[in-house]
Chains A and B, each alone.
Chain A
Amino acid sequence: MRHAKTLGLFALLALGTAAAQTLTVGLDADPPRLDPTLSSALVDRQVLNQIFDKLVDLDQNLKVVPMLARSWKVTNGGLTYTFALRPGVKFHDGTPLDANAVKFSLDRHMTLEGSARKSELKSVKEVRVLSPTSVQITLSQPYGPLLAVLADRSGMIVNPKAAQKAGKDFGNEPVGSGPFVFVSRKRQDNITLEANKSYWDGAPKIGRLVFRPFPDGDVRYANLLSGAVQVINPIDPKDISKLDKNARFDVMNYAGLGYQGIHLNTARAPFNNKAVRQALATVIDREAVDKVVFYNTVTPATGPFAPSSPVYIAGSAPKPDVALARRKLQEAGQSNLTFTLLTTPGSVTTQLAQLYQAMFAQAGINAKIEQVEFGTLLERSDKKDFDALILGWSGRPDPDGNIYEFFVTGGTNNYSGYSNKQVDALLNRARAQTAMSARKASYNVALNTIRSDVPYIFVYHQRNVLGMSRAVSGLKPIPDGIMRFKDVSLK
């Protein structure tokens, strides 16, 4: 009996400390797949990054920094990458993380049926184990973005034993070597992780990390205010200033990697005419968009590279010029231009579409708004069944991921049907170069042509905005938008 009492007391104490150290994070969706190979949803990455270590990571300036790989050498004209692995790293189940595990993981990313990593790793020819702490990747052609790709899901190393045993179910019981260990998940309710006490880079400061999905922005916000969660990511633009004024909370607002704007279908009338496309781009008032829709929380854009990108070219966005737009339309013989603007439902997208519509109307352009749900939008963009469509890109740390597939002839995301041989050559050259300065020069030339051809109107760069309780400290603003909780503490 006394034993039972003592045990009960210990249990209470343990519960007490665990409760004090629990950090709960509100996300905007339930992460569907906790398997780095099969994951295709952005929100997955918020959880995956806590469970799995990657070969390399990104710092606040988007520089690739060591993680599981202590160092690397690029030889053979950019075709061979040799990684020296950190010794003594263990997976959550205690098995050692060595070169064989790295090869297993990369091979799994490249071959597993339904893998969402195949296109990111398609230039990889072979992965070879040189020694227990050394791995070599050989490429079939030089691919500058490789390291940046390995700083995301493609570079995540899974536990071979657990992955082989679970197969496609691995996402239900993920085992990695990251700072947090997967404990449990209840769909649509929570994903619970616990600190990895023997983490190679020191144990995390919080004991327990819980992720909870709140698809509705108002509900997410109310849960932060009521103290049910300590961090919410993202926060709706309309709530930012309210939270800023509240002494109990902080708003973290930092640069992202993506861009948003309008695709123009160059494959059919009316936008197969360059002057018409230019007229449309000329009337967009980027500052008004920032002010009216986003309460001054986005950055006006002139290209696909966000201010955080190493190849970002500073310069203010052009001012709208209605007279010039009218001249362009006359030049194209289109004084009565009417077209359909395709978009998805949602308060922000609707507001944006209406604002664009009003801007076009100033130059006598009549835009009809058509709203379809996201799946249909993607399907119609594949089939080039649209005039103009509002669609952006969440962004990638390497510049290539933000420009290549969008503007190269036949690219996967080239919804505009754009094709320009000169641009193709420049984009391919940039991708084969490793020095960032050389790549920046190539992109600069390509962008001048793209801007003048206007297959896409760049409007703004979104930022990462999250709300959190003042009790939370140590969260670093990394432009990829992924929260890293290892050094986060809770007062």
Chain B
Amino acid sequence: MIQFALRRLLSTLPTLLVVTVLVFTMVRLLPGDPARLLLGEEATPQALAELRRSLGLDQPLPVQYGQWLLDALRFDFGTSVKDNASVAALIADKLPTTAELAVLSMLLALVIALPAGLLSALNPGGLTNRVVTLLSLAGISIPNFFLGILLIYVFSVQLAWIPASGYVSFAEDPLRNLSLMILPAITLGTASAAVLTRYLHASMTEALTQDYVRTARAKGVTHSRVLIKHGLRNALIPVITAFGLQLGGLLGGAVITEQIFSVPGFGRLLVDAVFTRDLPVIQGMVLTSALAVFAVSFLVDLTYAAVDPRIRYQ
């Protein structure tokens, strides 16, 4: 298992390097001059030149990239152009909030998807199956911004049960934190739940038709044991992948949901940075998201290997 983990880690290094090059060039390809945006409409040509020089934007691209990569290896992502704060500190400040949101959403998604996917797979063609299919289709189709504003309208404006927006850290006030996070978590979680339900339904349906399930049944293994040990365990493998992809995406920034609920997380910082062409912040954040996706997919592979021993030895 350890050997598998090491092999898996080493194989990501070249990909990571490619990612850094892509991140850097993509950010440079963004239209609009950061100095111009920062100094606004009244900028004089001298002030613009002065700022470009101090941002290092007058250097050739490979030099800028090399310098950035060397610094990034030491977790120094530079200083925010907009508000002069360290990019690493900004990210460290925002990441826990988004991580909490992502974890809550995925928990919610699992709580919904596991029973829903199983029940619908066990009743092919039944009423449960049709209701679950309809709901998961709705969950996938309804855009986040619409669901978010709808939730605010119903629960904050009309019923006044939950504050419309704001953020308090869990350590500071756990109850208030949860009450503020519940609507964003529902907004994000229901969409993920819908995707996971579809996956689970499909793979469980397939697993239940396999020979080993029939054999187990023929041997007189109890119904619940067949379902869980033989059916679910095998059906979970593609679901784990889907779960990992969803979680990785959420860690990369729940951009729209954070905007709607004014959650001061990763996604909002990213949107702000893109609008102000805050290059060091964008670069640092995209790289961090890439790392988060790598980390999650690494963990997914480990889980995978634990669930299905065949994978370890390939």
Contact = CB atoms under 8 A, between A and B. Distances in A.
A230 B165 CA distance: 14
Given A114-B50, A373-B31, A228 B264 contact: no
Contacts of B47: 114, 116, 118-119
A3 to B, nearest CB: 25
Interface string B33-56: 110111111111001001100100
Contacts of B41: 378, 393, 413
Interface stretch (A186-194, A298-306, A425-433, A442-450): A186-194
Contact of B164 (A119, A186, A223): A223
A212 B166 contact: yes
B132 to A, nearest CB: 31
B164 A226 contact: yes
Contact of B262 (A212, A374, A405): A212
A186 B85 CA distance: 12
Contacts of B276: 32
B163 interface: yes
A421 B31 CA distance: 36
A41 B149 contact: no
Contacts of B268: 188
A187 B167 CA distance: 11
Nearest to B276: A32
**Interface secondary structure of A, over-half rule:** loop
A225 B152 CA distance: 11
B9 to A, nearest CB: 33
Interface stretch (B153-161, B234-242, B283-291, B302-310): B153-161
A412 B149 contact: no
A30 B160 CA distance: 26
Nearest to A24: B166
Contact of A216 (B37, B157, B260): B260
Q: Interface residue tally of chain B, by bracket?
A: 35 or more
B84 A375 contact: no
Contacts of B262: 188-189, 212-214, 219, 223
Contacts of A215: 259, 271
Interface string B165-184: 11100000000000000000
A290 interface: no
A378 B37 CA distance: 8
Interface string B141-155: 000000001001100
Contacts of A114: 47, 50-51, 54
B65 to A, nearest CB: 21
A268 B82 CA distance: 35
Contacts of B160: 226-227
A116 B39 contact: yes
Nearest to A35: B84
B166 A225 contact: no
B44 A412 contact: yes
B263 to A, nearest CB: 8
B102 to A, nearest CB: 17
Contact of A169 (B50, B82, B84, B259): B84
Given A222-B153, A223-B164, 19 more contacts: A30-B272, A33-B84, A41-B40, A114-B50, A118-B44, A118-B47, A119-B47, A172-B83, A187-B83, A187-B269, A215-B259, A219-B149, A228-B156, A373-B32, A375-B31, A375-B32, A375-B277, A379-B36, A412-B42
8 contacts: A113-B50, A114-B54, A171-B84, A188-B264, A216-B259, A219-B259, A375-B34, A378-B36
Interface of B: 31-34, 36-44, 47, 50-51, 54, 82-85, 90, 93-94, 149, 152-153, 156-157, 160, 163-167, 259-262, 264, 268-269, 271-272, 275-277
Interface of A: 30, 32-33, 38, 40-41, 113-114, 116, 118-119, 168-169, 171-172, 186-189, 212-216, 218-219, 222-223, 225-228, 372-376, 378-379, 382, 393, 405, 412-413
